[in-house]
Structure 1
């Protein structure tokens, strides 16, 4: 709404001031109404008491007739009682006043048309009237009381309530304005910190806020969001840099081969065949490299689907069968896989197992054997893949987990991303990747992930 102030501090101050004004005004009006009701009830009780007294001596009032002089009022029994009390007693016969005692109003008061309590306005003066039958002859008795003091008291009390309401609202507004300055300081700190943040991933972070709880939660949420954005941005930058660096060589080689074919349309068939094979190999290298980089980038950015229950035994069995078809010259020996379930991403776990199986086939002995085993112990599943190749020296095993790292004497062309992808998936699944020596002398990679009970249907 356009009527609301823009700043949170002003909105809080306005809201509290209005709330205080409404509460104080309602409370004050209720009190004033109760006081006014009590005063008017007292007047009605007084009128009833006076009417009863006059009933007892009605003959005396009838005998004295109508007296309007001050001396008569002072000498008269009822005049002496009623004079100065702002009260008036009238006897009414056939619609005419036959007797009157008390404070005579400046203007004649109208004759009541019915019995009971009524309020009469005359010449700016307010009277409360009680009319009752006096005798069977049809005479009526009217007792009146000037209630202008009550009306003035009501007006004065209402004025006091209005003044108190205004004072309370202004005082509350001033107090809230000062308090919100202190309470909103954490938000101001967050705002100041946010203004200093730029696209630079090494830039400052949001200030840590511990109180109040709501602002602390907001600070943690914003910090987590910024961390994710920085991670995603860093992943994008790293992907761009890695892709540019690694694709330069195969693209250059591919371009040279294409240029050679273009300049030599009549190239002998053997050389042409070798050139095409080279181009096909470079294309496959580029495709494999991009696939690996994309997988790494998604993992770095945590762009992952929801976790589900994964049957590791089924996954390892299927992955081994597919690896045997990809590498027909290699013998894959899968030990009896134990039953194991894990919470994670099936595609990520399959990617890790596939890379371990391909890595063992490419770097093991030509036509050799790869041993695959799935075991469980202490709520942990271990997928072990061992080859019979030259292995990796102990001092280089940790380095081989880094991206674009290849051994000192590589036996096959590769992107150097295989073990890096496995290491990433191990981290994302709260597991580990350990490189050691296989019993056959080659490399043994152990991929470890926590096990979990299977999710019930419909709860994945």
Structure 2
């Protein structure tokens, strides 16, 4: 039953319609798809709500019109009906199918209309009026096909409009989200370049655009943070360099004074410590220069295998050098020698013999058979004044590998570290050695500001 409507002075009940919908939405990661999905969902909810409102309003309006028509016909039929004449317009006297609620209202002396659910969900329109002789004149018809067609066309238009809203909202979300996503990707790329030490990169300039939004605020904050960190690092580097520079004179004087002491064990200890302090001061100064990014390589063409073999033979004749493939490279021989000697010194100090050096094309590998590199070094790279675990780095100041990594950066090379374990062995199995690999670039490192050294005349 839908409700009872009275004319005149009669009350009426409204029409309600519930529709259950279940939408499966696949949400992809990323701002573009999240924003597109959010806009599409909001658009779908709004479209469904408006469609329901419009559908119900149109249905109620049509039923009201049908009720008014039924009320007019039952009044006209009442006026035209008389003794000896049949009821006009298909009206009936005391129709047994008249709904009980409508009959109850009519027996009270009121003219009323009524809407009930018919077969297949098609509403039935009733109108009834009491006669003077106590009988009931009623008129009944189904919701017309024309009205049903109008509602069907309206529902189709609402469905098409809802789909258009959803797809339009999705397209708008992809457009807006794509623009925001591109800006964020540019900001992330610029931030990664800053993290790699490219101090001239500005995140705000990288994202571009003339519209200021939260992305610009984030970029400006990152730029401000990078500037503050750079200033702090530069201040620390200058302090370190100044301290090391100021220590050079007294340490040199101390070393000279130690040479004047009489021979003996105490003199040897003083000389050894003074020399160690001088080496430390020089290493700290070199690290400070490398951190300042002011170092430039002086490039020469060398045969890498021959160069490594000669230098290692002078440094330590017990080191085994194997040249798998000879190659001509353009690099700075002095800095390459510094890297090579530091790697050999680290292997000799913290590893175990035999120490092996392999040259294969542009790649140099230095391997020892000790306990391997500390996990912190493998994860984060060399760090000054951190010697790692007592197994491998119980001595020294942690500057050797730091200098090697810095010099490799000036050469445009890449320095990697790994431990050697049996094939298929888990990480908790002790290492059988450590390998440092220097990957020299295929082309001269002009991006580091290096310049070629001109050969001497006559050569």
Larger Rg: 1
TM-score, length basis structure 1: 0.43
